[in-house]
Amino acid sequence: MERRFTVMSREWCHLCHELVDALRPLAEAAGWDVEVIDVDLHPDLEARWGEWVPVLLHGEHELCHYHLDEAAVRAYLAGFPLESRA
């Protein structure tokens, strides 16, 4: 399974920037990447996520939205086998 978090975001959204800034150290420590997607550039994503952004995903699994839930992210990462955490 891919070791990448995806953040559905908006460029002008301060909550989005705060979530990404808080997520990066956790992701880096676990050896995961962070991909930020601006939903305003993708009408299908904007229609799906709308006012829920920022949304933190791993694949289709939603970990949190609006604010980083650090405990949820740490618990999620802990559930991966060591070889997946690299």
Domain residue limits, the chain: 4-85
DSSP-assigned letters across all residues of the chain: ---EEEEEE-TT-HHHHHHHHHHHHHHHHHT-EEEEEEGGG-HHHHHHHGGG-SEEEETTEEEEESS--HHHHHHHHHTS-HHHH-
Query: Into which CATH architecture does domain 4-85 fall?
Result: 3-Layer(aba) Sandwich (3.40)
pLDDT value of residue 4: 97
pLDDT value of residue 86: 44
pLDDT value of residue 83: 53
Q: pLDDT tens, position by position, for the chain (86 residues)?
A: 799 999 999 999 999 999 999 999 999 999 999 999 999 999 999 999 999 999 999 999 999 999 999 999 999 999 987 554 44
